[in-house]
Copies of this chain bind each other. A is one copy, B any other.
Amino acid sequence: MGKKLFWIAGLFFSVNLQAQTTDEVLIRKIADEILVNSKAYENLRTLTKTIGGRLAGSPQMYQAEEWGYRLLKESGSENTVKQECMVPHWVRGGTDQATALLTNGKKKELDILALGNTEGTGSGGIKAPVILINSFEELEAKKDQLKGKIVFYNYHFNPRFIRTFEAYGDAVKYRTRGTSLAAKYGALASMVRSMSHSVDNNPHTGGTHYDTAYKKIPAVAIGLQDADWLAATLSKGDPIIISLRTMGHFLPDAKGHNIIGELKGSEFPNEIITIGGHLDSWDICEGAHDDGAGITQTIEILRAYKAIGYKPKRTIRFVLFANEENGARGGIQYADEAAKNRNETHLLALESDAGGFTPRGFGVTCNDAQFAKLKSWSPLLEPYGAGQFTRGGGGTDVLFIHEKLKVPMGELLPDSQRYFDIHHARSDVFEAVNKRELELGAVNLAALIYLVDQYGF
């Protein structure tokens, strides 16, 4: 793209200089501070490259807690606490292995990952024929053929959805409910096509749910290329036996913490605004987008407020939640503690947990009056990207305070196109995060929190 850009740029520029009102000026000031001096990207580098994957109970979880606690203090937190909560301690226990054995004697290694919280196969592994199942309807139709088999769910992530979270919502039931449904009919293990439209072969893990009525069988996710090969081979009528070995198991619950920073309100200290992300991540990746992005944005907002000397009227809590991925104990604990402290009123609990991509808007679960208020702020956020407010939304970490205390909850909604390329996969690494996109998320969150702080909610 060449010279023609200059005058296009000129047009935008002339638009950009019209900021006038106090709110516009202050939000501009926040944006400038973050876009020029942000530490979010370098903080994310440390979290992902020095600490890395940090599943609940792991040594990296404790390193991340220490890192977050220190960083909140350094960033200007006036009251920094570690809020204890017991967290599940699931370990992968070794390298997940799956080998496809064909009748012609050929073998093929499959790229798989055990799903979080699953029981392993035992060190001997299991060896069983695999059966292709494309949907739960097909599962029911073939329920008499599943005994002693490995069920391979090949339900595709639907590319027709424009918002990729819709495709996830549509497909993820095969990961969460598929395991026990397979066990119900006597299957020995479940193998699910990864919830992704990526162009690589990385398997995407995530939690599964064991229905206590049935046996806890091993469950794994398989990469898309291997899933396509498996489906094609089985569709040709060539039987395949899979040799599967996973070693997942639980250790006793561990003592984890929500790490909480705070800016005390000058006028309404008992009115609380919460912003947060989750500090834990899956063990097999760096947890850069999920949710190192939300964590470093949360800390950056605090840093930026202090840097520009902003003194909030209300109390703002910056929460690094524990154990979102495989237990949500951090979110539950935060809600329980809030419930005990009845002299505090929580106005809004916000989170950033949809990746560090260019912000588009916010999804907020609130009443009509509150939503009208948000809509009225749209023109203030539009110049920074996140002016689109939609009803409904929140996230695992703020869901419990919402349910327990009826606190309005919301979430930053970034562009979703790249999220499921890397979600819960080895490819969720620092290099997948763009500095500007990460910073713009912090800008829009900081702007919305500023408005809630100024005008209440």
Contacts and interface: CB of A to CB of B under 8 A. Distances in A.
Contacts of A384: 162
B4 A325 contact: no
A434 B415 contact: no
Interface stretch (A30-38, A126-134, A239-247): A30-38
Contacts of A385: 162
A287 to B, nearest CB: 11
Nearest to A417: B436
Interface stretch (A5-13, A81-89, A216-224): A5-13
A172 B5 contact: yes
Nearest to A423: B1
Contacts of A8: 165, 169, 363, 392-394
A125 interface: no
B324 A5 contact: no
Contact of A162 (B31, B164, B170, B417): B31
Interface residues of A, number: 69
A163 B12 contact: yes
Interface of A: 1-13, 16, 31-32, 35-36, 41, 159-170, 172-173, 176, 197, 199, 206-207, 290-291, 324-325, 328, 353-355, 358, 363, 383-385, 390-396, 399, 415, 417-418, 421, 423, 434-437, 440
Contacts of A390: 11
12 contacts: A1-B396, A1-B423, A4-B399, A6-B173, A16-B161, A35-B160, A162-B383, A358-B358, A358-B415, A415-B415, A417-B436, A421-B434
A437 B417 contact: yes
A36 B160 contact: yes
Nearest to A434: B418
A179 B417 CA distance: 40
A440 to B, nearest CB: 7
B166 A13 contact: yes
Nearest to A209: B3
Contacts of A164: 436
Contacts of A353: 1
A417 B414 CA distance: 13
Nearest to A355: B1
Contacts of A5: 165, 168-169, 172
Nearest to A41: B199
A415 B363 CA distance: 20
Contact of A1 (B35, B395, B415): B395
A2 B32 contact: no
Given A12-B169, A36-B160, 13 more contacts: A1-B355, A1-B423, A2-B396, A5-B172, A8-B393, A8-B394, A9-B168, A13-B170, A31-B162, A41-B199, A197-B435, A199-B435, A421-B434
B417 A9 contact: no
Contact of A207 (B3, B165, B354, B358): B3
Contact of A290 (B1, B162, B423): B1
Contact of A394 (B4, B160, B415): B4
